[in-house]
Amino acid sequence: YSAFDKMREQIDRIASQIDFGTGGEHEEVIATYKMFAYDEGWSRRINEAIDSGLTAEAAIERVQQRTRMRMRQIDDPLLADRMHDLEDLSNRLLRIVSGQMSTAAQLGLKRDSILIARNLGPAELLEYDKRRLRGVVLEEGSLTAHVVIVARAMGIPVLGRVRGIRHKVRDGDMLLLNADDKSVIVRPSSAAEEIFQHDLIDRQKKKARYASMRDAASVTTDGVPVTLMINAGLRDDMSALATTGAEGVGLFRTEFQFLISATLPQRERQQRFYRDVLDAAGDKPVIFRTLDIGGDKVLPYLKDEASEEENPALGWRALRLSLDHAGLMKAQARALIEAAAGRTLNVMFPMVSEPWEFDAAKAIFDGQIAFLNKQKKLLPNKIRYGAMLEVPALAETLDILLPKINFLSIGTNDLTQFLFAADRADPRLAERYDWLSPAILRFIRRVVKATEGHDVDVAVCGEMGGRTLEALALIGVGIHRLSITPAAVGPIKAMIRSTNHSDIRAKMDELLNAPTENLRESLTAWANSQGIEIG
Ligand code: PEP
Ligand code: MG
């Protein structure tokens, strides 16, 4: 009976006590975490260090230090998350061998506590009493961090990347945490507390209003419908279809499943996952985007191949990588086709730069269909194909592409970085170019014009569509479909239901034909004068 056994027992016990629903992505996180706990390589390295004469404590520390050093050289948030899992396990092991069994969690929490930490592992979080824990503030952590995913499943607000917070807060201090606004106030003045309370009530009112609009139609005051769909990528996200009343998933980022997994998801596992997603969507359509990896989304198990690139955003990513890795794409195509047997399958390819790339990608799907047909397998009733327009070059060849596709989705996140030649991940550039710029809006207006006369749905699926003023401008240049983050559905619907379609069309033409430097200001003033709800 070793310390390893004891640690594994603890992990198994924690995992089995999880009581916030099954079938969520947090289960995959826990599974990955467990996999580390049972990792033979890790325990062997520690045992070898002990055999070389170190004490158990020193051996654990040494192995952890080496791992840390190796991982530090890799600049990858997902690997960093796995590193935190390992740190969590190492600390647990250390506590066991040093006989110091209790953790902070076991000391108990006072009521309405906010937990402050440098970082947390998912299992550490699970040890806390969820009824007393009101929030978590971490100095590290990111949106994709495992602990954040688990916290979300537990319904606990988390704020990550708050540098230096541990030194500013003493035990027992009052904190005001607003995870939506990414703010935390330490030892608030009574004025600040009052504002916070007001704000909270305001938010709750708004939330209630948005919730009451769930089943209301998304149409303008002059009766023009605007289809609202959501962006998703995790199984947990699918419940947002019901809570928001969205009409479908306009962008399902399939790479998320690959990113949270420690090893390449095999075809059968992908197929089960896609089928679960379709089941969860019921009658509503789901547009699956094929793998968009590379660039900033590097898979640890493909790491060796993605050699260091000078400009990863312009590099070997998305469809480019998939076409060179036909095996990967074939497996995904087969999994998607099998998962959608007897239903409609919507597939979309990312980063299409030239129409021939679309042809090549579709040929892979055609090949899988022919194969499954020969095997007399049940196929989807219908397959609809689409492309993302996020590389500006594609706009110049739409006449060739449009007859081949059923839908086009404008990815404004990448599109803007390419139009302005401004890295979307560079914080110094984040505020520099406005989505409400003549360049972007004229570009999109031109794309919409090019699609006239073709039987192709045009949508916007970047973050831009989830902001009220930006969405208003998009509707003004002829967009009738938005795929947005679930939290934005309510505010965007409220905006649409207070907008007159022909007025915004005319206004946008006016603003774009003779632009001023600050389009945002002009549009805001106009929207307010029209009584449009822009939040
Ligand atoms: C986009 O580029 O706008 C987009 C929706 O895709 P992603 O953010 O996943 O690159
Ligand atoms: Mg993109």
For every residue of 264-323, DSSP letters joined together read PPPHHHHHHHHHHHHHHHTTS-EEEEP---BTTB--GGGTTTS---S-GGGSS-HHHHHH
Tell whether the model's pLDDT for residue 150 goes beyond 90.
Answer: no
Three-state secondary-structure class, residue 23: coil
Q: Could you tell me which residues are beta bridge partners of residue 345?
A: 383
Which residues are within 8 A (CB) of 417 and not within 5 positions of it... i.e. 6 or more apart? Answer: 313, 423, 424
CA of 293 to the centre of ligand 1 (A): 11
Cα radius of gyration (the chain): 25
How distant, in Å, are the alpha carbons of 35, 269, 270, 347 from that of 275?
25, 10, 9, 14
The answer to whether 132 and 104 are in contact (CB under 8 A) is no
Return the residue whose CA atom lies nearest to atom 4 of ligand 1: 411
Ligand 1 atom closest to the CA of 350, numbered from 1: 6
Same fold, 2-173 and 213-529: no
> Which ligand has the minimum distance to the alpha carbon of residue 250?
1
The domain segmentation of the chain, as residue ranges, is 2-173, 213-529
> Which ligand has the minimum distance to the alpha carbon of residue 413?
1
Lowest mean pLDDT among 121-130, 374-383, 439-448, 471-480: 121-130
> For position 307, what pLDDT does the model report?
59
Q: What is the pLDDT of residues 480-504, one digit of tens each?
A: 999 998 889 999 999 999 999 999 9
Q: What is the pLDDT of residues 156-187, one digit of tens each?
A: 888 888 888 999 998 889 999 998 888 999 99
What are the φ/ψ torsions at residue 375 (nearest 5 degrees)? -80, 0
Per-residue pLDDT averaged across 344-372, rounded? 98
Q: What is the pLDDT of residues 179-213, one digit of tens each?
A: 888 899 999 999 999 999 999 899 889 889 999 99
Which of the following CATH numbers is that of domain 2-173: 1.10.274.10, 3.30.70.920, 1.25.40.10, 3.40.50.10800?
1.10.274.10
Query: Superfamily assignment of 213-529 in CATH?
Result: Phosphoenolpyruvate-binding domains (3.20.20.60)
Return the residue whose CA atom lies nearest to atom 1 of ligand 1: 411
CA of 411 to the centre of ligand 2 (A): 6
Ligand 1 atom closest to the CA of 409, numbered from 1: 5
Residue 53 DSSP one-character state:
T
Residue 455 DSSP one-character state:
-
**227-232 and 481-484 strand pairing:** parallel
Pick 37 or 159 by higher pLDDT.
159
Asked if residue 413 has its Cβ within 6 Å of ligand 1, the reply is yes
Asked if residue 412 has its Cβ within 6 Å of ligand 1, the reply is yes
Return the residue whose CA atom lies nearest to atom 8 of ligand 1: 413
Instruction: Return d(Cα 451, Cα 389) in angstroms, integer.
Output: 12
Instruction: Return d(Cα 30, Cα 105) in angstroms, integer.
Output: 18
Tell whether the model's pLDDT for residue 360 goes beyond 90.
Answer: yes
**Distance, C-alpha 11 to centroid of its chain:** 27
Q: Ligand 1 pocket test: pick from 229, 249, 252, 253 the residue with the most ligand atoms within 8 Å of its Cβ.
A: 253
DSSP per-residue letters across 343-397: SEEEEEETT--SHHHHHHHHHHHHHHHHHHHHTT----SEEEEEEEE-SGGGGGG
Tell whether the model's pLDDT for residue 523 goes beyond 90.
Answer: yes
**Considering Cα of 437, then 443, then 445, then 448, what sign does the dihedral take?**
negative
> Which ligand has the minimum distance to the alpha carbon of residue 464?
1
Instruction: Return d(Cα 444, Cα 478) in angstroms, integer.
Output: 9
